[in-house]
């Protein structure tokens, strides 16, 4: 506080003007680098560049998805700070309506999850509004909360993208590689991103499918620890336009889930039919006539003829045997009575 003078008003202290870190102090010599006692520096901003690559990805789904698909969609939104969300699309609407939704959301890339029969999940990756676009069947989905991996990464950090060498050999894989780079890579100097690289997105081609994994980079020894989520993409078709148009590539190794379930049912039915045929053959064998063996002439040796007894027919009733009374029985009864009398006396 300044001391007030009796005669006049109090004098206010003058404000100190802010100076840039490299600006010289007033009153100092132009060649001297020594900072004065009143000088202070402002730390530079974290991102000094300008956000030029304004890629925005719209991630949403159709109605009828299950809980696992919903969690997978939320995990992708968490890992991609340049993504946007939207309400679920009605299944009656056509797919080309998504281009208008992306235009309203100011997005030039789209990841759309399409559910069918409440058990099959399809993923569309598209460059809106001109294309190209690719349709995949999503298999073996495991979310972040389900895996409980030990890895962890900073929210909003920029990932490294690692691709299998197969992506440089085949032309359709090269197109998918460019599509993956533009969708999954976080633009530099994005407002919601962090200027750190601490995890890796890997795309590996095995068994005619694309396997997605997310790993954390440990600073101590640069080893990798899986974070999640993980899923497998089975390519179906690549279209020239966005969500439609001429077909550029069709996977000859793709088998639809309906056909896969049909083959499983046919195999089970074939096993059951085979068991029934085995039972029928066994019943026919049991009911079939037995093969008669011809008579053996040597069996007569063991036959010994028995003596023939004359047949006697009794015409008269046989005489009954005479009934003889037991004379000793009354004497035994009399002795028992005498013994009872003797005991009572």
**Helix (H/G/I), strand (E/B), else coil: 178:** helix
Q: Where are the beta strands (DSSP E) in the chain?
A: 57-61, 83-85, 109-116, 120-127, 133-142, 157-163, 194-206, 209-217, 224-226, 230-241, 244-250
**C-alpha–C-alpha distance, residues 121 and 141, integer Å:** 10
Cα 58 to Cα 72, 99, 308, distances in angstroms? 14, 10, 112
User: For residues 237 and 247, is the Cβ–Cβ distance under 8 A?
Assistant: yes
Report the candidate in 130, 97, 98, 108 with the shortest Cα–Cα distance to residue 57.
Answer: 108
Q: Is the pLDDT of residue 34 over 60?
A: no
CA 112 centroid distance within chain? 18
- 262 phi and psi angles, rounded to 5 deg: -65, -40
pLDDT of residue 7: 55
| Domain extents in the chain | 57-149+162-185+203-212+229-259
Q: What is the CATH architecture of 57-149+162-185+203-212+229-259? A: 3-Layer(aba) Sandwich (3.40)
Identify the weakest region by mean pLDDT among 19-33, 205-219, 233-247: 19-33
Both tokens of residue 251? 């996977």
pLDDT of residue 25: 54
- Tens digits of per-residue pLDDT, 104-149? 999 999 999 999 988 899 999 999 888 899 999 999 999 988 888 8
Mean pLDDT on 57-73? 93
- Tens digits of per-residue pLDDT, 10-29? 555 555 555 544 555 554 44
pLDDT of residue 61: 94
Residues in the chain: 345
pLDDT tier, 159 (very low <50, low <70, confident <90, very high otherwise): very high
**C-alpha–C-alpha distance, residues 80 and 118, integer Å:** 26
Both tokens of residue 153? 């990464």
Q: Report the percent of the chain where pLDDT is more than 70.
A: 84
Mean pLDDT on 230-237? 96
Torsion sign (Cα): 31, 32, 33, 38: negative
Identify the weakest region by mean pLDDT among 87-96, 215-224, 324-333: 324-333
**Helix (H/G/I), strand (E/B), else coil: 12:** coil
Most confident of 32-36, 45-49, 173-177: 173-177
Report the candidate in 220, 241, 41 with the shortest Cα–Cα distance to residue 131.
Answer: 241
Mean pLDDT on 194-199? 89
pLDDT of residue 70: 94
Q: Is the pLDDT of residue 188 over 60?
A: yes
**C-alpha–C-alpha distance, residues 272 and 79, integer Å:** 49
């Amino acid at each position: 506080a300044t001391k007030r003078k009796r005669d006049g008003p109090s004098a206010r202290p003058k404000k100190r003007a802010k100076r840039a870190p490299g600006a010289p102090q007033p009153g100092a010599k132009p060649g001297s680098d020594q900072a004065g006692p009143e000088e202070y520096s402002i730390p530079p901003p974290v991102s000094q560049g300008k956000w030029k690559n304004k890629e925005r990805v719209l991630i949403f789904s159709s109605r009828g998805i299950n809980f696992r698909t919903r969690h997978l969609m939320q995990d992708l939104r968490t890992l991609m700070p340049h993504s946007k969300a939207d309400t679920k699309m009605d299944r009656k609407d056509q797919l080309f309506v998504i281009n208008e939704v992306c235009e309203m959301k100011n997005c030039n890339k789209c990841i759309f999850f399409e559910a069918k029969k409440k058990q099959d999940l399809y993923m569309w990756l598209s460059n809106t509004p001109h294309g190209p676009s690719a349709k995949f069947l999503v298999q073996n989905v495991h979310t972040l909360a389900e895996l409980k991996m030990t890895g962890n990464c900073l929210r909003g950090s920029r990932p490294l993208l690692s691709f299998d060498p197969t992506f440089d050999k085949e032309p359709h894989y090269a197109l998918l590689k460019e599509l993956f780079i533009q969708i999954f890579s976080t633009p530099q100097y994005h407002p919601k991103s962090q200027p750190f690289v601490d995890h890796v997105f890997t795309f590996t081609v095995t068994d005619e499918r694309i396997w997605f994994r997310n790993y954390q980079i440990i600073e101590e020894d640069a080893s990798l620890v899986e974070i999640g989520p993980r899923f497998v993409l089975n390519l179906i078709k690549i279209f020239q336009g966005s969500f439609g148009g001429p077909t550029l590539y069709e996977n000859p190794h793709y088998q639809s889930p309906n056909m896969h379930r049909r083959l499983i049912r046919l195999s089970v039915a074939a096993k059951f039919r085979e068991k029934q045929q085995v039972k029928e053959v066994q019943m026919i064998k049991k009911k079939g006539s037995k093969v008669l063996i011809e008579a053996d002439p040597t069996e007569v040796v063991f036959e010994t003829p028995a003596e023939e007894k004359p047949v006697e027919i009794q015409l008269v009733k046989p005489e009954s045997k005479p009934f003889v009374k037991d004379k000793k029985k009354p004497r035994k009864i009399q002795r028992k009575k005498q013994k009872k009398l003797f005991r009572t006396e």
